[in-house]
């Protein structure tokens, strides 16, 4: 039950990320930063894709993904269509990786030691990653409503 719930929530929120990217009236505004807003929507999207492909895809799904975290924040002007394609690919990676787990796997230690404080199980890490996704999704929604005018 927990596995299916987590899988469903990740897919739901990644589809919401896709929707946020699609809702920008001006594609250039995906990369806009202003005043105290230091991360653009485009960079937050790349960051979420890198994060999930690393901690779910590579570590749990054994995809071989290699992360370039600095590039997630330095790369600019990736076309909207490419961001959407990367989100769709990430949805499939997350679905497959979580889908390959069985209920007892969730209680096992996450493959990397002490990624975050508070717990060490795969279930704990997945819940943490879901919180990270929703945190940045809220920032993206606010960015769009504030700066895509």
CATH of the domain at 125: 1.20.120.450
Window from 50-54, 73-77, 145-149 with minimum mean pLDDT: 145-149
3-state secondary structure of 121: strand
Domain that holds residue 64: 2-147
- Structure confidence by residue, pLDDT tens digits, 18-60: 999 999 999 999 999 998 889 999 999 999 999 999 999 999 9
Of 129, 127, 120, nearest to 50 by C-alpha is 129
Give the chain's domain count.
Answer: 1
Res. 9: pLDDT tops 80: yes
Burial 47-83 (b: 16+ CB within 10 A, else e): bbbbbbbbbbbbbbbeeebeeeeeebeeeeeeeeeeb
Model-level pTM? 0.96
pLDDT at 78: 98
What is the pLDDT confidence band of residue 148, given thresholds at 50, 70 and 90?
A: very high
CA-CA distance, 94 to 6, in Å (whole number)?
10
> Quick one: which of 79, 103, 99 has its CA closest to 91?
99
Q: Are 72 and 46 in contact (CB under 8 A)?
A: yes
Write down the pLDDT at residue 32: 97
Tokens at 13, concatenated: 């929120």
What Cα–Cα distance (Å) separates residue 97 from each residue in 30, 74, 112? 29, 28, 16
The answer to whether the CB of 131 falls within 8 A of the CB of 118 is no
What is the rounded distance in angstroms from the CA atom of residue 119 to the CA atom of residue 117? Answer: 6
């Amino acid at each position: 039950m927990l596995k299916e719930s987590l899988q469903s929530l990740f897919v739901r929120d990644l589809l919401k990320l896709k929707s946020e990217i699609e809702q920008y009236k001006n594609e250039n505004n995906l990369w806009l930063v202003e005043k105290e807003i230091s991360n653009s929507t485009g960079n937050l999207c790349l960051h979420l894709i890198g994060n999930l492909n690393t901690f779910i895809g590579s570590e749990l799904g054994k995809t071989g993904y290699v992360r370039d975290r600095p590039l997630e924040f330095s790369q600019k002007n990736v076309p909207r269509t490419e961001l959407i394609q990367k989100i769709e690919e990430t949805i499939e990676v997350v679905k497959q990786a979580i889908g390959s787990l069985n209920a007892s796997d969730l209680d096992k230690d996450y493959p990397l030691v002490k990624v975050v404080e508070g717990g060490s199980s795969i279930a704990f890490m997945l819940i943490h990653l879901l919180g990270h996704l929703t945190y940045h999704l809220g920032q993206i929604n606010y960015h769009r409503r504030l700066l895509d005018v």
